[in-house]
Amino acid sequence: MHIEELTRKASLDFLAGSRLGHLACANNGHPYITPCYFAYHDQYIYSFSTAGKKIEWLRTNPLACLQVDEIASFQEWTSVIVFGRYEELIKTDKSQEARELAFKLLQQHEFWWEPGYTRTVLHGAARPLDPVYYRLSIDEISGHRATPN
């Protein structure tokens, strides 16, 4: 197997063609990671959720990491990691354009609202279904690709 480092452009191109990643955040020294659907556009990762642990933690500590991969086999895969900062796109005039862009980008794919906007029962109570749009800046990005010899 041969592993090569991707250029920034190749890493961004990979993100642009991807939809599912794993979003990591931390709070009080504890890590948390969860799958999320996303859309890449112009140096930002756009996504959607409802209130829960992930959003609560990101509001407390906006530093986040997104890992995206594509695995064809043990010897053929691509993985990209983004380090960035969470920005909630709340309903204000200032963030309206970014909210509309997030919706436009995300709705291009089937079932873009799942699992974030799916009825979920936590600790015996239904989680409120209040939409939370957000984006992550791409402060740092790295990628690797493995190919068979």
Dump pLDDT digits (tens) for 88-103.
Answer: 998 777 777 887 778 7
Dump pLDDT digits (tens) for 24-79.
Answer: 999 999 999 999 999 999 999 999 888 889 999 999 999 999 999 999 999 999 99
Contact by Cβ (8 Å): 117, 107: no
Dump pLDDT digits (tens) for 89-138.
Answer: 987 777 778 877 787 888 876 554 455 555 566 667 766 667 889 999 99
Residue 82's contacts (CB-CB under 8 Å, 6 or more residues apart) are: 15, 45, 65, 66, 67, 68, 136, 138, 140, 141
Cα four-point dihedral sign 101, 102, 108, 113 = negative
Q: Where are the domains of the chain?
A: 2-147
Task: Write the single-letter amino acid at 65.
Answer: C
Closest to 9 (Cα-Cα) out of 114, 80, 90:
80
**Fold topology of 2-147:** Pnp Oxidase; Chain A (2.30.110)
Q: Which residue has the higher pLDDT, 49 or 144?
A: 144
First-last CA distance in the chain = 5
The answer for 30, left when phi > 0, alpha when psi is -120 to 50, beta otherwise, is beta
pTM of the prediction?
0.84
